[in-house]
Amino acid sequence: MIAVVSSIGAVARPRLHGRAPAVCWFEDCRRDSVPLVGGKCASLGELINAGVRVPPGFALTTEGYRRFMADGGIDGELRAQLAHVDANDLEALEAISARIRALIEAQPFAIDIEDEVAECYRKLALRSCMPGVPVAVRSSATAEDLAGASFAGQQDTYLWVRGIDEVLQHMRRCISSLYTARAIAYRANKGFSDDGLAISVGVQKMANAYTAGVMFTIHPANGDRSVIVIDSNFGFGESVVSGEVTPDHFVVNKITLDIIERVVSRKELCYTVDARAQCSRATEVPFERQTVQSLIDDEITELAWMGKRIEKHYGQPMDIEWAIDKDLPAGGNIFILQARPETVWSAKQASAHAASGGSAMDYILSGMLAGKRVG
């Protein structure tokens, strides 16, 4: 059921040895590629090479980011702006952030980097059999989910971006989102220096989602590792990730894949494609669909099975974003858009796990022997 997205046609892959490339394909990355492509893109490459169904794409690397910042002298201006930043002065932070972001977004890429990005976008369109292929442009920071801090979600994501000019502009916007007032303050309060900071930007083919959402291979409310929790809504997953709607909620037994809890919510809003403007926008869910279950049971079961495979590959509980593409037939239309280690409960359970030893299966079995409900 889980399959690698095949590469159609001859796709030139940049060499990842010697001088770091400015642009590279996801499939050339592994989980240890975080310094080059950040957490999100490294995870996507790892998933593809593990045989998980992931939409194809490429990344502007941290080398490309550094060259972009150095070419216009932006890094020097940045240091000057941040030299005496006060993380508690919100008004000053907003003013500094606005100046830095405007500076970054007005800076053009070097011609060679622009050409590389344009060529990769052209090849992605060929692989997708779709001219002007719509893509998600996602920030992928190298500091995501470090021990004691979680930077994930602080940078921007843009959905349904089409055309190379729009891709380049949204890549600059992703880079500038590294310097929102919130992100600057968070790094300052956590004691992280901006000097060694770097970001990558992923460009990934959009899944034309009928339904999307998030999945945890641990219960995010109580840390129960015997279940998988899935939240879903119609359209793109933005409404679920941002908390704009109360999504449908499913709890699945991790061993038997039985659905042991379901809550179908009233879902009044979703994100979908504006056919005329060719962009993602919030839209009202028709009244008659608002209380309809957004996932059928077979899709819930397949998602849970995929979640188990991903957790087994990484050897730890995972936080996963997924989508079901309405343009593809059932059995091959569920895609993983992002997967990262779950950080909250995993950190809490690490010391107990180290003391007692054993695997996640030992944890589940001990719960069963203690009379804990797992199904």
pLDDT at 121 over 50: yes
82 falls in which pLDDT band (50, 70, 90)? confident
- Three-state DSSP class for residue 215: strand
d(CA 16, CA 192): 28
79 falls in which pLDDT band (50, 70, 90)? confident
Q: What share of the chain is helix, strand, coil (3-state, %, to 5)?
A: 40, 20, 40
Domain boundaries, the chain: 23-205, 209-369
Burial class of residue 160 (count of CB atoms within 10 Å of its CB; 0-12, 13-18, 19+)? buried
- Three-state DSSP class for residue 322: strand
CATH superfamily placement of domain 209-369: ATP-grasp fold, B domain (3.30.470.20)
Query: Token digits for 143?
Result: 């500091």
- Radius of gyration (Cα) for the chain, nearest Å? 21
Q: What percent of the chain has pLDDT over 90?
A: 67
Is residue 53 a contact partner of residue 205, using CB atoms and an 8 Å limit?
Answer: no
CATH no. for 23-205: 3.30.1490.20
Q: How do residues 3-18 score in pLDDT, each as one tens digit?
A: 333 333 333 344 444 5
| Burial annotation 16-42 (CB, 10 A radius, 16+ → b, else e) | beeebbbbbbbbbbbeebbebbbbbbb
Q: How do residues 145-167 score in pLDDT, each as one tens digit?
A: 444 445 544 567 899 999 999 99
Cα distances from 309 to residues 7, 185, 254, 312, 314, in angstroms, run: 22, 37, 11, 5, 9
d(CA 104, CA 96): 12
pLDDT at 130 over 80: yes
pLDDT at 45 over 70: yes
pLDDT at 76 over 70: yes
pLDDT at 279 over 90: no
**Per-residue pLDDT at 2:** 37
d(CA 266, CA 166): 35
Q: How do residues 303-356 score in pLDDT, each as one tens digit?
A: 999 999 999 999 999 999 999 999 999 889 999 999 999 988 776 765 454 444
Mean pLDDT of the region 119-142: 94
d(CA 260, CA 251): 6
pLDDT at 283 over 90: yes
Q: How do residues 177-209 score in pLDDT, each as one tens digit?
A: 999 999 888 888 877 777 778 899 999 999 999
Mean pLDDT of the region 280-287: 94
d(CA 142, CA 190): 15
141 falls in which pLDDT band (50, 70, 90)? confident
Q: What percent of the chain has pLDDT over 70?
A: 84
**Per-residue pLDDT at 301:** 97
pLDDT at 109 over 80: yes
* HSE (side-chain half, CA atoms, 13 Å) at 243: 1
Q: Rounded to an integer, what is the distance from CA 209 to the centroid of its chain?
A: 15
d(CA 217, CA 318): 5
d(CA 337, CA 303): 12
